Amino acid sequence: MATTRFRIAALGLLPMSFLAACTSGPGGGPVHGSSASPSRTTTTAAQQEEKLGAEARSALQATATGSTVASGLERVSDGLHTDPGLSAGTAYRLTVVCAGTGTVAIEFAPAGAAVRKPFSCDGTTVLERFTAKQAQHVDINGGRGATGMIAWRIERV
């Protein structure tokens, strides 16, 4: 009778050992399909993005002087691509702060003649004064490997 109870108890443990083997990888760590690691990475990336965004916004707010026409906060990977509807012949100031790594470039495309102005994504405030032309388009694009957040504002001067 004692032998029969031992066999039943041993068989009861068998499915648990298979389950444990299916959910852990080499060395007892999680298998690639596990959600433990990606959720930590996503949270860390979101926290980093939030921190860089706050830094960029703070630096941008310190320079506000005119009448804001348009503004925003963008990921470097998304960039900024806008036709803000500026009045032709009016002077404006574009203020940009990029917090992160790498370089980004401001591109103005007034009436088809693009002007490119690269700068470092190190938290430095960049001011660019320009007079709007018809169909004024403003782009800010990240260079290869650039990461971070871009805070920007266009003001009427």
Say what the pLDDT of residue 17 is. Answer: 37
User: What pTM value is reported for the model?
Assistant: 0.69
Residue scoring higher pLDDT (62 or 136): 62
Identify the helix (H) or strand (E) that includes residue 22.
helix 2-23
Q: What is the pLDDT of residue 38?
A: 56
Residue type, 111: A
Q: How confident is the model at residue 132 (pLDDT cuts 50, 70, 90)?
A: confident
What pLDDT does 125 receive? Answer: 94
Q: Is the dihedral of CA 45, 47, 52, 53 positive or negative?
A: positive
Count Cβ atoms within 10 A of the Cβ of residue 57 and give its class: 0-12 exposed, 13-18 middle, 19 or more buried.
Answer: middle
| Average confidence score pLDDT of the chain | 77
Of all residues in the chain, what percent carry a pLDDT higher than 90?
Answer: 43
Q: Which two tokens mark 139?
A: 């782009």
Region 17-43 average pLDDT:
46
* pLDDT tens, position by position, 83-118: 888 888 888 999 999 999 999 999 877 645 556 789
C-alpha span between 118 and 143 (Å, rounded): 9
For 89, the 3-state DSSP assignment is coil
pLDDT at residue number 63: 87
Q: Is the pLDDT of residue 6 over 80?
A: no
